[in-house]
Structure 1
């Protein structure tokens, strides 16, 4: 019972922290685009709950998590208001966004994988759930904010870091490591990979046999 309670508290804390971090990144994008406070609220909310909503829909976990527990919406709106009044104090809003996104990515990747396992899915599907949960909130944020999606950047390891954290969590769980320890290890590993990629500009090799041609130049 103690172990179950510890796991529940850990996962709840992870989910609250992940929603808050992603909500702040959405609000920071709103600040960069000079939106009003309602724009801040919208960007914070769709970013904070976007990935988890898609995850729950794909797993058939209905109603989705924020409908069951509206406190997640309160967190998003609170982070939006806080950012609206404090974003101007930051030396670099984009740098702050990148690092908060890295922390949120690590948290959500493991949380998504855990939700996958808890739903009865196999290890591969659980890892995919982790990556989808981690990536989708940022994609929605960047598309709505008119920012280049971090997921599609050729200059950073992004989805790979989420996948690495999810794999560590799922792998350790499969080996019988206590779930709380596996959660913590996955988060640390995912954040380490993403953080090192940001710091040292790690990137996977792109596809470079030849550049794509303009469709107008092709003959059919």
Structure 2
């Protein structure tokens, strides 16, 4: 309980973004796990790795202690996501687009978190873009492997590209001296909108074809 009190008393805007991103990604993972008829524990594991996978790899590459090891808030966030799916399963599980919306929201929020944490450590813009992309997509890759699906980063419309564009926008706005809250919101919205438009209009990169 003291840990939760300390977390909320020292909370920053980026922490709120990370918490919301964790919740959104956890919902998306649990939603897919439910479609595969996983039990509660299996769904919790899938939701957790979806939520923390990208941030874990990012922190390890940056030489940091993975964020979820510093506070149990993110574990409880995943438990809350599981509880929401159980209670509101008629809404969340049966709607075909539930996964898409929560995954898109989580993607935009995690790109912001990855970019800002890398910026705070003084890395170059190209590193910021890569870490933002890793934060956004790696959790989904692990999730899809666990549920025996082809990772959506390789098949769906502009998934990783949306993260890259978001990371570039983050760097540009920061270079121009835009206030950080505006940079954060603009980046998240940019990634989210690209995902929506790419899905609606079927924007995608050319498919690499082998020999006929």
TM-score where L is the length of structure 2: 0.90
Q: Which residue of 1 aligns with 2:7?
A: none
Q: Which residue of 2 aligns with 1:144?
A: 146
**Aligned partners of 2:115, 2:137: CA distance in 1, in Å?**
13
What's the secondary structure of 1:140's corresponding residue? helix
Shift in Å, 1:204: 1.7
Does 2:60 match 1:53?
no
Contact 2:85/2:92 (8 A) holds in 1: no
Aligned residues: 202
Q: Which residue of 1 aligns with 2:162?
A: 161
**Aligned partners of 2:206, 2:85: CA distance in 1, in Å?**
36
**Aligned partners of 1:177, 1:105: CA distance in 2, in Å?**
22
Residue correspondence of structure 1 range 11-90 to structure 2 within 5 A: 11-62=14-65, 64-90=66-92
* Structure 2: tracts of 5 or more residues without a match: 1-10
Instruction: Output one character per residue of 1:138-162: Cα deviation in whole Å (capped at 9) or x when no partner.
Output: 0011110112211010x51100001
Q: Which residue of 1 aligns with 2:173?
A: 172
TM-score where L is the length of structure 1: 0.86
Contact 1:41/1:81 (8 A) holds in 2: no
Contact 1:116/1:125 (8 A) holds in 2: yes
Q: Which residue of 2 aligns with 1:95?
A: 97
Contact 1:157/1:202 (8 A) holds in 2: yes
Instruction: Output one character per residue of 1:179-205: Cα deviation in whole Å (capped at 9) or x when no partner.
Output: 111111111111111110111211122
CA RMSD of aligned residues (A): 1.6
Contact 1:26/1:47 (8 A) holds in 2: yes
Instruction: Output one character per residue of 1:100-122: Cα deviation in whole Å (capped at 9) or x when no partner.
Output: 11111111112101111111211
Shift in Å, 1:69: 1.1
Decide whether aligned partners of structure 1 residues 212 and 194 sit closer, same or farther in structure 2, where only a CA change above 3 A counts: same
